[in-house]
Amino acid sequence: MNKKLLSAVSALLLLFGLYAGTSWYIGGRVQAEAHTVIDSLNTYIAKNWSDQVRVTLRSYERGVFSSQASYLLTFPATKTSTLSPEVLVVNRITHDALPVAQLARGNFEWLSASIHTTLAPTAFTEALFKATGGRSLIDGHTQLSVKGVAKLDWVIRPVDHTQDTVRSRFAGATLIAEFGPTFHHTKGELKVKALNITDGKVTLDIKASRLHTDTHPGQSGLSIGISGADIGELTLTSLNFPTVTAKQINTRLVLNEKDNLLTGQSHYDIERLTIDKKDWGTLQLTASYDKLNGNTVKSLGDLYTTILTRLLNSEPEADLTTAADLKQFWGHVQTLVKNSPTVRLDPLIWQTANGQSSITLSTVLAPVDLRSGGLGLNGNPLQTIDATIAISRAMAVGVRTTALEANGVKPAQAKSTAEKDIASALDVAAKLKLGALKGDRFVAQLSFKDNVVKVNGQVISADTLLTLASSLVPASWLSTEPVASADGPDEAAAIRHLDPSVLASILSAADFTFEEVKDEQGDPLLKVSPGDSGAAKIDMLFVGCGNDPSCEDVLLRATYSPNRPVALKVANDWNLRNRWARAFVNDKKEAVIEMDISAYGGIGRDAVEGMVNTFFKIVRDFSKELQNSN
Is the pLDDT at 467 greater than 70? The verdict is no
* 527 contacts: CB under 8 Å, gap ≥ 6: 514, 515, 516, 517, 537, 538, 539
* Residue-wise pLDDT tens digits, 222-247: 889 999 999 999 999 988 788 999 99
Stretch (H or E) spanning 31: helix 2-48
489 or 261: which carries more pLDDT confidence?
Answer: 261
* 358 contacts: CB under 8 Å, gap ≥ 6: 347, 348, 349, 350, 388, 389, 390
* Residue-wise pLDDT tens digits, 197-209: 998 888 999 999 9
Integer Cα distance of 495 and 608 in angstroms? 9
* Residue-wise pLDDT tens digits, 576-625: 677 677 888 887 888 888 888 876 555 666 677 778 888 888 888 888 88
Integer Cα distance of 379 and 388 in angstroms? 25
Full-model pTM: 0.64
pLDDT at residue number 473: 44
What percent of the chain shows pLDDT beyond 70?
77
Q: Round the average pLDDT of the chain to a whole number and report it.
A: 78
Contact 586/594 with Cβ under 8 angstroms?
Answer: no
Within its chain, how far is the Cα of 166 from the centroid? 24
Q: Domain 500-629: give its CATH code.
A: 3.30.1460.10
- pLDDT band at 329; cut points 50, 70, 90: confident
* 61 contacts: CB under 8 Å, gap ≥ 6: 67, 68, 69
Is the pLDDT at 102 greater than 90? The verdict is no
pLDDT at residue number 379: 83
Side chain identity at 275, as an amino acid letter? I
**Alpha helix (H) residue ranges in 391-480:** 393-406, 411-431, 462-472
| Residue 337 burial by Cβ neighbours in a 10 Å radius (0-12, 13-18, 19+) | buried
8-state DSSP, 399: H
Is residue 611 classed as helix, strand or coil in its secondary structure? helix
Is the pLDDT at 214 greater than 90? The verdict is yes
Helix axes 294-313, 323-336, angle to 10 degrees: 160
Contact 203/195 with Cβ under 8 angstroms?
Answer: no
* Residue-wise pLDDT tens digits, 31-42: 666 777 777 777
pLDDT at residue number 482: 36
Q: How many CB atoms lie within 10 A of CB 191?
A: 16
Domain spans in the chain, listed from the N-terminal domain onward: 1-157, 500-629
**Average confidence (pLDDT) over 326-332:** 84
Integer Cα distance of 206 and 237 in angstroms? 12
pLDDT at residue number 284: 94
